């Protein structure tokens, strides 16, 4: 990855629901003394409603529009760890904006692990279906080409937070700050 950033670069975490973007992002920002921002939280604050209400009352398209506006704002930040909602990749402009001043890491997990992590949650409108496992598999397959646009893939299944975080830190420092040769799409 050869990209020169105008400002101190961000670490951007994308990936499916339940892959650990928020948990990893918060820990990572604390360790690196970077600020942390979660796009879903920006949307909720801005619209003063929980995401489930936005989906229920206005539908997914309105949510996606609010999400794009939040991405536009946050992409201008510097030296932040940014975690995103799982569907942020669906609009290509979101990813290109986030890449302007950020290194984009896609967290991945197996469908079984995702179900274990989020299956009992009720705040993810897209998974409130009769067969969440099937929904997870379908959405993962549909979204794969979009997640593949990340700079790096980071597997999380069977790994501790410490392992995941030191993997991301290693890549970020090596490639983003010291601007050395890439190990693009590294997965372990
Ligand atoms: C979504 C993921 C959610 C949230 C919204 C839509 C998606 O965020 O943005 O429910 O389309 O995958 P998390 O990935 O943090 O659960």
CATH code of the domain in which 42 resides: 3.40.50.300
Distance 124 CA to ligand 1 centre (A): 6
β-strand partners of 108: 155
Give me the tens of pLDDT residue by residue for the chain, a chain 188 residues long. Answer: 667 787 889 999 999 999 999 999 999 999 999 999 999 999 999 999 999 999 999 999 999 999 999 999 999 999 999 999 999 999 999 999 999 999 999 999 999 999 999 978 878 999 999 999 999 999 999 999 999 999 999 999 999 999 999 999 999 988 765 543 444 554 44
Residue 184 domain-assigned (yes or no): no
Residue 126 domain-assigned (yes or no): yes
> Are 154 and 164 within 8 A, CB to CB?
yes
Residue 100 domain-assigned (yes or no): yes
Distance 40 CA to ligand 1 centre (A): 8
Closest by Cα among 88, 107, 108 to 98: 88
Residue 182 domain-assigned (yes or no): no
Residue 188 domain-assigned (yes or no): no
Which CB contacts under 8 angstroms, 24+ apart, belong to 84-88? 84/12, 84/13, 84/14, 84/21, 84/38, 84/39, 84/40, 85/17, 85/39, 85/40, 85/43, 85/51, 86/14, 86/15, 86/16, 86/17, 86/19, 86/21, 86/143, 87/126, 87/143, 88/14, 88/39
Q: Whose CA is nearest to atom 8 of ligand 1?
A: 85
pTM for the full predicted model: 0.93
> Are 57 and 83 within 8 A, CB to CB?
no
Closest by Cα among 19, 6, 28, 37 to 150: 19
How many domains does the chain fold into?
A: 1
> Are 102 and 175 within 8 A, CB to CB?
no
Name all residues whose Cβ lies below 6 A of ligand 1: 17, 21, 40, 51, 85-87, 124-126
Residue 4 domain-assigned (yes or no): no
Residue 157 domain-assigned (yes or no): yes
Q: Whose CA is nearest to atom 3 of ligand 1?
A: 85
Distance 168 CA to ligand 1 centre (A): 22
Condensed to tens digits (0 to 9), the pLDDT of residues 100-143 reads 999 999 999 999 999 999 978 878 999 999 999 999 999 999 99
> Are 80 and 35 within 8 A, CB to CB?
yes
Residue 186 domain-assigned (yes or no): no
Domain range for 123: 10-177
- Measured in degrees and rounded to the nearest 5, phi and psi for residue 33 equal 55, 45
Distance 84 CA to ligand 1 centre (A): 8
């Amino acid at each position: 990855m050869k990209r020169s950033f105008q400002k101190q670069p961000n670490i951007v975490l994308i990936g499916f629901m339940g892959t650990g973007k928020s948990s990893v992002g918060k820990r990572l920002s604390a360790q690196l003394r970077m600020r942390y921002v979660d796009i879903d939280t920006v949307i909720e604050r801005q619209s003063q409603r929980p995401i489930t209400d936005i989906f229920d009352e206005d539908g997914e398209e309105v949510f996606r529009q609010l999400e794009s506006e939040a991405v536009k704002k946050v992409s201008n930040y510097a030296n932040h760890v940014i975690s995103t909602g799982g569907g942020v990749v669906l609009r290509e402009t979101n990813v290109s904006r986030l890449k302007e001043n950020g290194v984009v890491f896609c967290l991945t997990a197996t469908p079984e692990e995702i179900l274990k992590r989020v299956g009992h949650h009720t705040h993810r409108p897209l998974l409130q279906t009769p067969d969440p496992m099937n929904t997870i598999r379908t959405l993962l397959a549909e979204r794969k080409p979009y997640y593949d646009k990340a700079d790096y893939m980071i597997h999380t299944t069977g790994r501790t937070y410490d392992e995941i975080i030191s993997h991301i830190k290693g890549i970020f420092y090596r490639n983003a700050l010291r601007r050395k040769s890439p190990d693009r799409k590294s997965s372990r």
